[in-house]
Structure 1
Amino acid sequence: MTALPDFLRIDPATRRVCLDGRNPAFYGDPNRVYGILHQHCPTFYWEEQKQWFFTGYEHVNMLLRDRRFGRQILHIAEREELGLPAPAPHLENFDLAERYSLLELEPPEHTRLRTLVNRAFVSRHIEKLRPDIAELAERLIDRFEKNGTTELLSAFADIIPVTMIARMIGIPDEMGPQLLAWSHAYVGMYMFKRSKQDEYAADRAAQEFADYVKSLIAERRLKPQEDLLSHMIHTEHKGQYLTDDELVSTTIVLLNAGHEATVHQIGNSVRVILESGLPPAVMFRDEAATERTVEETLRICAPVHIFQRWALEDVEVDRVSLKPGDKVSLILAAANLDPQKFSDPLSFQPDRQQAPNLSFGAGIHFCIGAPLARLELNTVLPILFRRLPDMRIASPPVVKDVYHFHGLERLDLAW
């Protein structure tokens, strides 16, 4: 058994775990802790979070698909009977933006919304974007190649995903920096022990974000274009069109989900490849090798670590009895490290061909942007390492304190 670090306490008999999610020693290297949890208790009650967590691959994969669990609970029970607090007045705009989020809805509402946007994200449509992604990557590298150094996130990783998802929706490229600012404030709501300041910032971003999207909706109603927003406005599903509130929620979630995780993953992937000491030229020698390398980076350094579900009925999972209204958390990144599924799971093996990673989830809430994220990673990483073959990490990377997302504050490179 691996010795426990001093910031982690485990009682295997009761499966109780004490762990400060804001401790840099944890969020800076969560895989180490996940490996220990797999040894002692893959299913555990996290005392600080007051919730059961599942890390085993089979359990996580099953729970993502199990219709006895859902992302909503208030469609079957009242707040009072569940002991949930009333909505906070200072989060009114954020709550409104989330009300019709694809991430939060269950069928039939989820089915209607997803059906309207899914066509734009299927692989055969996404593949048409490859030349644009490659052209943007080459142009960005042109800007800093001669300098011999760069900070990769601000100069490269931040720009590509937000530009591509904005173009798909129908938002001008020059809005990229503002979209990033809104998104960073918005996802502050998902941090452990978020502050009141974080909440005010998220609510303000939600209001500004929504106002901007409403202005775009008004424009596209008058003058439709060949973009996803026009498609969502003017396409009906079983005789129904999306309302303005549904359009705003869907656009915001597509913008956030369409770039936030990919920004992290570009940085995470470059870091893990450079730190491995393995030759990138071999990893990206052809399309098949590139795909395996990308999937292995997604497995070992996933950008989103936790997905939560409500129990909708009495259910028992791995000897844990749950009742309606109990919330559980699935650690996707830990499931990717399950030794029952992956040999030597904490090692980076770009030629690995084992179980599929769960980094994009599974079931009806499988990430709608997964084909786009995979295409971006499979396109820009080979270009980056081909253009800068002598690239190295110039200073120790610092991980963002935004658990349960996982990404870098910055990645300084030199060549």
Structure 2
Amino acid sequence: MPAPDQQLTEPVMGPAEALSELFTPAGKHHPYPLYDALWELGPVIPLGPSGTLVLGYDEVCTALRDPRFLVTDAAVHQATGMIDHSSWQCFTKIMMFSNPPDHERMRRFSRWAYSPGQVAEQRQLAVKAAERWTAHLADLDDGGPLDLVEAFATRVPVAVTGELLGIPEADQMELRTAITATTTAFEPIFDRAELLPADAGMDVLVGYLEDLVRERRRRPGDDLVSAMVRDRDADGALSEEELVSSLVMFLIAGVQSPSDLIGNTVRLALEHPAEGHGMTTDDDLVSAFITETLRFDPPNHVLTRAAETDIDFYGHRVVAGSRALLVLAAANRDPRRFTAPATFDITRKDIRPLSFGLGPHYCLGAAFARMQVEVAVPILLRRFPRMALAGAPTYRDQLVTRGFARMDVTLGP
């Protein structure tokens, strides 16, 4: 039976307190009561001349489609001084943080790597990785708790994306810490020192992939890096820095979101055992379960946009140059759009969660991320039908890209 997530949905404070709490460690770990409290102020909340908070489903959709709401590109980060940091020097050279015309140029270059045909070909890599790491879990099992994040949820996307890029297995897990560190740059930064971990992680990834690009240029293989180097050298569509940055983002996106989504999906499967068991035998149920997970507890909570000009937005004035924080996770629980939004219910129809964005910046890697989860979670649950949570999972200190730091489980007899 569908059941509400009571711990995460009971309002605990007023909207002013909720807003001040949202980006604290406690708020990042349990944001849903804060979103509920903020709804008392409406779907669009002015934060003064510097920003606007957008919670409503229709309102977020509008902002994501409106070309006047720009992504925070190099020009925006130049104005704030963030471009001085290596993390944002790299991020502003990818399509995710580029506006027209650069965005279209970069998207055309990379689109083939995320095509349905490519994702279908990569499915067997995911099967191989999931089967390997479920076997590894069985080898580790001594009857006590195991951290599923470290031993499985992380391992599968690292193996799949690493093999796709041609990264030797010996190097793959060493890059994992750097990948997670870079995603801290997406959080609101109140002190430049908060970017140091992201910068250090980015330096590792950029240095590694620069070396890999040089190696594949000398000795091409049948991996994605070789193919993108070949295409770039043939038509010059990207600069060398843009090529490396695009590969960095492919690695980050190919690992972080799938890893977090695997963790969220497994947690919900263990809390809803009838539906979780159904995923082991019914492919349609797998798809519905993951779609509802993306609505109910997604790995990506917030996107930021910058107003190109003054915008009259649902009766509120968004000032040119100010930021709009689009809270995807709150929009996915908009009570005007979803019946009983705090209830996890895989029977919902036509729900269309916004967890991978919308419009021209819709995540090209969404199908790749979903595919990994659709493969990995049923294989895991079939192998360990009596798996159970061994305590409450703990979260990383992040909200924009939110996921478990640790999730202890017992595998069962």
Same fold (TM over 0.5): yes
Match of 1:185 among 175, 181, 190: 181
**Segments of 4+ moved more than 4 angstroms:** 72-75, 193-197, 236-239
Give distance in 2, aligned partners of 1:78 and 1:252.
19
What corresponds to 2:114 in structure 1?
Answer: 121
Match of 1:282 among 261, 278, 283: 278
Opposite residue 409 of structure 1, the aligned amino acid is A
**Partner SS, residue 18 of structure 1:** helix
Residues 262-306 of structure 1: CA deviation (Å, up to 9, x unaligned): 111111111122223544222443111110011011110100100
What corresponds to 2:33 in structure 1?
Answer: 32
CA apart distance, 1:237: 9.8
CA apart distance, 1:367: 1.0
Give distance in 2, aligned partners of 1:191 and 1:86.
16
Match of 1:322 among 318, 323, 328: 318
1:9 and 2:10 aligned = no
**Partner SS, residue 235 of structure 1:** helix
Change (3 A) 1:203 1:301: same
CA apart distance, 1:3: 8.0
1:299 and 2:283 aligned = no
Give distance in 2, aligned partners of 1:173 and 1:136.
12
1:378 and 2:384 aligned = no
Change (3 A) 1:401 1:46: farther
Change (3 A) 1:196 1:109: closer
Give distance in 1, aligned partners of 2:106 and 2:128.
32
CA apart distance, 1:25: 4.2
Bigger Cα displacement from structure 2, 31-40 vs 369-378:
31-40
Bigger Cα displacement from structure 2, 141-150 vs 362-371:
141-150
CA apart distance, 1:116: 1.5
Residues 304-350 of structure 1: CA deviation (Å, up to 9, x unaligned): 10001111122111112123212111111111111122111111112
Change (3 A) 1:411 1:4: closer
CA apart distance, 1:410: 0.6
8 A contact 1:191–1:404 mirrored in 2: yes
**Structure 2 counterparts to residues 100-249 of structure 1, below 5 A:** 100-145=93-138, 147=141, 148=143, 149-193=145-189, 196-235=192-231, 239-249=235-245
Opposite residue 182 of structure 1, the aligned amino acid is A
Change (3 A) 1:286 1:336: same
CA apart distance, 1:74: 6.1
Give distance in 1, aligned partners of 2:376 and 2:278.
16
CA apart distance, 1:26: 2.5
Bigger Cα displacement from structure 2, 196-205 vs 258-267:
196-205
Change (3 A) 1:364 1:233: same
Computed over aligned residues only, the root mean square deviation of the Cα atoms, in angstroms, reads 2.5
Give distance in 2, aligned partners of 1:214 and 1:73.
22
**Partner SS, residue 249 of structure 1:** helix
Opposite residue 100 of structure 2, the aligned amino acid is P
Opposite residue 57 of structure 1, the aligned amino acid is Y
Change (3 A) 1:322 1:216: same
What corresponds to 1:14 in structure 2?
Answer: none
Opposite residue 352 of structure 2, the aligned amino acid is P
Residues 108-137 of structure 1: CA deviation (Å, up to 9, x unaligned): 211121112111111221112222211211
8 A contact 1:186–1:206 mirrored in 2: yes
Give distance in 1, aligned partners of 2:364 and 2:113.
10
8 A contact 2:12–2:33 mirrored in 1: no
Opposite residue 346 of structure 1, the aligned amino acid is A
8 A contact 1:185–1:202 mirrored in 2: yes
Opposite residue 349 of structure 2, the aligned amino acid is Q
CA apart distance, 1:354: 3.0
1:70 and 2:75 aligned = no
Q: Structure 2: which 5+ runs fail to align?
A: 1-8
Q: Structure 1: which 5+ runs fail to align?
A: 12-16
What corresponds to 2:55 in structure 1?
Answer: 55
Change (3 A) 1:304 1:197: same
8 A contact 1:283–1:350 mirrored in 2: no
Change (3 A) 1:85 1:310: closer
